[in-house]
Amino acid sequence: MIHTLDQKALAGLLERPKLRRLLDAMNGEGEETRIVGGAVRNALLGRPVMEVDCATTASPDGIMERAHRAGFKSVPTGIDHGTITVIVEGEPFEVTTLREDVETDGRYAVVCFGRDFEADALRRDFTINALSLGLNGRLYDYTDGVADLAARRVRFIGDAHIRIREDFLRILRFFRFYAEYAENGPDPEGLVAAGAERAGLAILSRERIRHELLKLLVARRAQDTVQILAEHGFLTWILDGAAEFGRFERIASAPDRSADPVERLAALAIMTEEDAERLRERLRLSNDEQRRLAAYAELLASLKSSSLPLDATAIRRLVAEHGVETVSLVLSATAGEPRPTLEKGAPEALIRFRSGAEPLPVFPLRGADLVERGIPKGPKIGELLAQGRRIWLAEGCPADEAYAKALLGRVFAQA
């Protein structure tokens, strides 16, 4: 299927005042600078363009000198690879000197600076990423990327095996870009090459793998792509474990859930509490990401081990103990499964908490309350608060002031 490309949106890039000022400053006097990559691709697709990258014949020093003359701030964010971030009236643009690969080892590349836009395009990964737009409005396409974009096809530039061996992360990028931009099935040549070169994934850092996976999980065709990854043996290797496709599909297709990559990873890969710790190491997750996965795993295990149905009071208790988003995520992921079951009124209670119509229950006692009653500061305070919290949870998390005073008295009595 061939789709119409948005030429008007492409031309609109050059009408952005800050970008136009940048291009005016970087062009001329024997140097040429173009808009490249994702900005061109997304504009042609009619999608939002959030970041704009440029490529230039000018050297890194030349970029900074031109930026200085124009009154722009420049930051050498990747100067070893020729990238300077130029800030125009508060908006950053990455401007990179044209490059050619000298040596690649599947993970890192040694590059030299060049002045040939075609050579720079041919070293990129996919045809749809090799487009460039000149200051004069001309679209440059050295790899038939426009045709592939119109056909919604993700295809490696040249020999797919060679492109992958230059950087094995391109295997995961192939699937991620397929999930975001393609229609129909994956490019056969690219799929065969990805399978043949899969051993090279082992040399990649776990951080890079995590970065690509989380982006893939929130892509437009994430559900289809995850199935393809599984069918071709990539998913088990990435996760170092099994996958739960039903829960992932429920979360990915739920209209009331945002495209949150950590939520989707939890639904896909967490079945036991041990899974959260394994993924922390496997994907080098941040502390916050691992905390969210562990919270999901803990509640999932608790609900799966109980045969009691959940009513509105139980929802209130769970929200107080685990947080409304964790409760909502687990119940959405397990919807339709034998456990947990929800009684009438439970879904409505959760909706009220999520919408803010009902305030989240807050434990009414503080350590200061016990200190005022004469309990000395120390471990005993924590023990008594924990005991009081258990009572409060068991009794449905009441919020009225009279209950709080009575609870304080009961806790103090046990001191």
Q: What is the pLDDT of residue 225?
A: 98
- Rounded mean pLDDT, 97-107: 73
Q: Could you please report the per-residue DSSP string of 195-264?
A: HHTGGGGGGS-HHHHHHHHHHHHTSTTHHHHHHHHHHTTHHHHHHTS---HHHHHHHHH-TTS---HHHH
- Confirm if 320 and 360 have CB atoms less than 8 A apart: yes
Per the structure block, which two tokens stand in for 363? 């434990």
- According to DSSP, the β-strands at 53-56 and 73-78 are unpaired
350: Cβ contacts below 8 Å, ≥ 6 apart: 315, 319, 324, 327, 328, 331
Given pLDDT bands bounded at 50, 70 and 90, which one contains residue 100? Answer: confident
Rounded Cα distance between 274 and 340, Å, is: 21
The answer to whether 206 touches 286, Cβ cutoff 8 Å, is no
pLDDT of 204 over the 70 cut: yes
pLDDT tens, 38-62? 999 999 999 999 999 999 999 999 9
Q: What are the pLDDT digits (tens) for 249-277?
A: 999 999 989 999 999 999 999 999 999 99
Question: Residue 54: helix, strand or coil by DSSP?
Answer: strand
Q: What is the pLDDT of residues 378-411, one digit of tens each?
A: 999 999 999 999 999 999 999 899 999 999 999 9
Burial of 173 (0-12, 13-18, 19+ CB in 10 A): buried
Compute the distance between CA of residue 348 and CA of residue 28 in angstroms, rounded to an integer.
64
- 412 pLDDT band, cuts 50/70/90, is confident
3-state secondary structure 264-295: HHHHHHCCCHHHHHHHHHHHCCCHHHHHHHHH
Evaluate whether 153 touches 174 at the Cβ level (below 8 Å). Answer: no
* pLDDT reported for residue 106: 61
Which burial class, exposed, middle or buried, applies to 336 when counting CB atoms under 10 A from its CB (0-12, 13-18, 19+)? exposed
Kindly report, residue by residue over 209-238, the tens digit of the pLDDT.
Answer: 999 999 999 999 999 999 999 999 999 999
pLDDT attached to residue 107: 65
Q: Is the pLDDT of residue 280 over 90?
A: yes
Q: For the chain, give the mean pLDDT.
A: 94
Q: 8: pLDDT confidence band, cut at 50, 70 and 90?
A: very high
Q: Which two tokens stand for residue 360?
A: 């989240």
Span 307-363, pLDDT tens digits:
999 999 999 999 999 999 999 999 999 999 999 999 999 999 999 999 999 999 999
pLDDT of residue 78: 87
Retrieve residue 106's tokens. 């599947």
Each residue of 58-82: pLDDT tens digit?
Answer: 999 999 999 999 999 999 998 888 9
Instruction: Say which DSSP state 170 is in.
Output: H
94-108, 204-218, 291-305, 370-384: the lowest-pLDDT one = 94-108
> Alpha carbon of 173 to those of 55, 150, 205, 251, 267: distances in Å?
21, 20, 14, 23, 22
pLDDT of 415 reads 73
Q: Residue 139 pLDDT more than 70?
A: yes
247: left (phi over 0), alpha (psi -120 to 50) or beta: alpha
Please, what are the domains in the chain? 1-151 (3.30.460.10), 367-413 (no CATH)
